[in-house]
Structure 1
Amino acid sequence: MYDYLIIGAGIIGLNIAKNLKERFPESKILVLEKEDEVAQHSSGRNSGVLHAGFYYSADSLKAKFTKEGNIALKEFVKSRGLKINECQKVVVATDDKEVEGLEELKRRGEANGVDLIWLDEDGLNELYPNIKTHKKALLCPSTATVNPKEVTKEFAKVIKDLGVELLLSCKYVSSSSNVVSTSLGDFQAKKVINCAGLYADNIARDFGFSKDYVIIPFKGIYLKDKNNVSHLETNVYPVPNLENPFLGVHYTLTVDGESKIGPTAIPALWRENYKGMDNFSLKEFSQILFYEAKLFLTNAFGFRSLAFSEVKKYSLSYLKGLAMKLTKQMNHDGFDSWSTPGIRAQLLNKNTLELVQDFVVESDENSVHVLNAVSPAFTSSIPFANWVVETHVLKNK
């Protein structure tokens, strides 16, 4: 009998395990992971950007945890001797309407306690001569990049050193009460904590949760300039559409000095639809197609135009063209290869047909289900895990 059984060894599951073991050193904790190593999905396939926390309205969980998470993850990375690129970030505008968007971001940043610096065109040109804006731009000094796979694997080392059991190649099958059946047998726990990412909603339904939600996967790919021929010096973002959770095509400078353009946000047709027909599931395909058809027909949150525009991003010239609106004479010849795809496990409210913007967790005395841990969940992982433990794991004891 385990005290806590955690399904999913992504960065959230690992941090919840770490938090619980540090609070209760004598507790028996088991983390199950279906892959043969950690960080095989969202935790290891994201951009590695440590966000600052100025996109989110002050009343959101994302606002609450992103600034604190940025600081905490930087401290962890530095204390463990991992790589970090403190390359900052610039958000630029292309017209007067987008300047209004910048002003809203500045207001949100101030409400969330995030340091943002106004730059006029001359000031931006002095710092970054190849970046273009209309009238003014926002500089965020606290944005940085790390290697997400390296960081997630380091958390796995930490929990094993603390005495948490990590069982790999162990796939969830079903549950009955608090007995979890897996491909490696049955395990019993006083409390089950579901951090299964792309499959969190399915597992939650086995426990009577996620009645209003379903996960819709979106595929993200970046176009890479491996040698940074472009001489990119910082992350460059457009003003986002704050009505949906995607940040638009931007430039990212990786921890290894590569530059990237992207990502796409292409509606995927099954949950692990990374490449070709790999991991194809007819059941998933049918379910996702049903909801995507519904979104397409109703054009909820502009899904129809989003789908068309995202598919066009498979064209290198189209994707480069979107990015080039943010720069002047930057050399784009090096952007010639695709990154490893990632899948965003985006929660959809089945009743309202809205993409859920904030983190969502459901729980009772027997189980906890992390249903929506989308970007910036990687950045927010340490304080978010602490909140899950305090608000859902311990309060429902």
Structure 2
Amino acid sequence: MKRYDYIIIGGGIVGLTIARELKRREPSRTVCILEKEADVAVHASGRNSGVLHAGFYYTANSLKAKFTRDGNAAMRAYCKEHGLRINECGKLVVAQDESELAGLEELKRRADINGVELVWMDEEEMKTIDPNARTYGKALYSPNTASVDPVEVCMRLKQENIENDVEFHFHTQYKKHKGGAVYTTSGAYRYGYLINAAGLYADSIAHDFGFGLTYTIIPFKGIYLKYTKNKTDVTTNIYPVPNLRNPFLGVHYTKTVDGSIKIGPTAIPAFWRENYSGFSGFSFKEFLQIVGYEAKLFLTNSFHFRRLALEEMRKYIKAHFIRLGMSMVQSIDPKGFGHFLRPGIRAQLLNKQTLELVQDFVIEGDGSSMHVLNAVSPAFTCSMPFAAYVVDQITEKRGGTL
């Protein structure tokens, strides 16, 4: 049974950046990543929009506010340092009517408090950024929002970790732990310290260690629709004013790293954790548990879940999905949209007692293990400073030493 100083469960962006941070601080420590798939970034980390957010959506006292601002700068610098593709196309946040102007004011207030650059623009100024964008009276422009290829970033982080002697064990799924060892589908591994960064399964592994017992993961399916007519009808990311009471930003236009255009995503409640399409990844146990909680949310209408669920299900209708995006632009060819892109699943933490979605990062642990229960969107943007925070917390739990 091989022993490692640190074992990380999960080969997504969070596991990769935590491994990198551990090696940066203590190069002599042995670190390995256990991943149940054949490679890194198979799930949310490789299926997200690729947008590097700037950090103006979040309240100043949240971890998200600081991590997004700092993570944006860190990830942009990392891509440039390693020659990875980046599209620094910015973002416009537009209003549909007078009632949404107050939402823009709140975003600007949060940006100013968080130290994030966000610029007021009238309709004429906005056209210098994207002539096709449409707003009511004024808009906000974020010059630091950018797009990257998330798989490319994760593959570079994987290679950097390998160069720093981090070991990867693929096709290795967690089963249980006992006496300082984890038991997997590929045998047992002994650890000095365990870090759970398992994304969709982080809650169930944490429960096995006695942590996160008030929480459960509710999966939401995100799907984008590609605009195949051209790459020029939209030149920047265009977002609506979001409902700040829930963690979803609404249907928007995204400019990808290669300049392509897509609209989305959905936030459709999923029925099991890897409910990508058909019955792939189906688990009857997960189905019963997740549908049970979704039924509670529907009946109690917590955080307006009933309306959210019904609205999101309608987005399976392609024509309706397209109409939602048309109000943010002067013109777009509804026949220019092609196929739905491969879906992603967002692991959204639910407080089982209050039936509210948890909108900030949550980690729990002790002197022998740490559990990333809620690597909440935009976790990809936040990953580097968040990893440093996790390692800081591990150091504190272990009495000041790694």
1:260-301 residue CA offsets vs partner (Å, 9 max, x unmatched): 010000000000000100010000000001000000000000
Query: Letter of the aligned partner of 1:179 in structure 2?
Result: A
C-alpha contact 1:227 1:257 (8 A) present in aligned 2: no
Task: Report the CA distance between 1:28 and its aligned residue.
Answer: 0.8
CA distance in 2, matches of 1:146, 1:260: 14
- The 5-angstrom pairing of residues 283-322 of structure 1 reads 283-322=285-324
Task: Report the CA distance between 1:89 and its aligned residue.
Answer: 0.2
Match of 1:269 in 2: 271
CA distance in 2, matches of 1:227, 1:75: 32
Q: In structure 1, the residue corresponding to 2:27 is in which secondary structure? A: coil
Match of 2:233 in 1: 231
CA distance in 2, matches of 1:227, 1:158: 38
Query: Letter of the aligned partner of 1:146 in structure 2?
Result: V
C-alpha contact 1:32 1:170 (8 A) present in aligned 2: yes
Aligned-CA RMSD value:
0.9
CA distance in 2, matches of 1:247, 1:31: 32
Match of 2:397 in 1: 396
Match of 1:386 in 2: 388
Q: In structure 2, the residue corresponding to 1:333 is in which secondary structure? A: helix
- The 5-angstrom pairing of residues 1-397 of structure 1 reads 1-226=3-228, 228=230, 231-391=233-393, 393-397=394-398
1:305-362 residue CA offsets vs partner (Å, 9 max, x unmatched): 1000000001111011111111112333321210110000000000000000001000
C-alpha contact 1:229 1:334 (8 A) present in aligned 2: no
CA distance in 1, matches of 2:382, 2:177: 29
Task: Report the CA distance between 1:57 and its aligned residue.
Answer: 0.2
Query: Letter of the aligned partner of 1:395 in structure 2?
Result: E
Q: In structure 1, the residue corresponding to 2:15 is in which secondary structure? A: helix
CA distance in 2, matches of 1:312, 1:77: 37
Query: Letter of the aligned partner of 1:347 in structure 2?
Result: L
Unmatched segments (≥5 aa) in structure 2? none
Query: Letter of the aligned partner of 1:334 in structure 2?
Result: G
TM norm structure 2? 0.97
C-alpha contact 2:254 2:261 (8 A) present in aligned 1: yes
CA distance in 2, matches of 1:222, 1:370: 27
Task: Report the CA distance between 1:227 and its aligned residue.
Answer: 5.1
CA distance in 1, matches of 2:281, 2:68: 32
Distance 1:147 1:277, change over 3 A: same
C-alpha contact 1:228 1:257 (8 A) present in aligned 2: no
Q: In structure 1, the residue corresponding to 2:334 is in which secondary structure? A: coil
Q: In structure 1, the residue corresponding to 2:217 is in which secondary structure? A: strand
C-alpha contact 2:129 2:236 (8 A) present in aligned 1: no
1:11-35 residue CA offsets vs partner (Å, 9 max, x unmatched): 1101111110111111111110000
CA distance in 1, matches of 2:230, 2:58: 31
CA distance in 2, matches of 1:310, 1:47: 18
Task: Report the CA distance between 1:126 and its aligned residue.
Answer: 3.7
1:150-204 residue CA offsets vs partner (Å, 9 max, x unmatched): 1111111110000111111111111113210001111111110000000000000
Q: In structure 1, the residue corresponding to 2:36 is in which secondary structure? A: coil
Task: Report the CA distance between 1:130 and its aligned residue.
Answer: 1.1
TM norm structure 1? 0.98
Q: In structure 1, the residue corresponding to 2:159 is in which secondary structure? A: helix
How many aligned residue pairs are there?
A: 396
CA distance in 2, matches of 1:318, 1:255: 26
CA distance in 2, matches of 1:163, 1:232: 43
CA distance in 2, matches of 1:320, 1:144: 23
Query: Letter of the aligned partner of 1:158 in structure 2?
Result: E
Task: Report the CA distance between 1:229 and its aligned residue.
Answer: 5.2
Q: In structure 2, the residue corresponding to 1:374 is in which secondary structure? A: coil
Task: Report the CA distance between 1:127 and its aligned residue.
Answer: 3.2
C-alpha contact 1:3 1:190 (8 A) present in aligned 2: yes
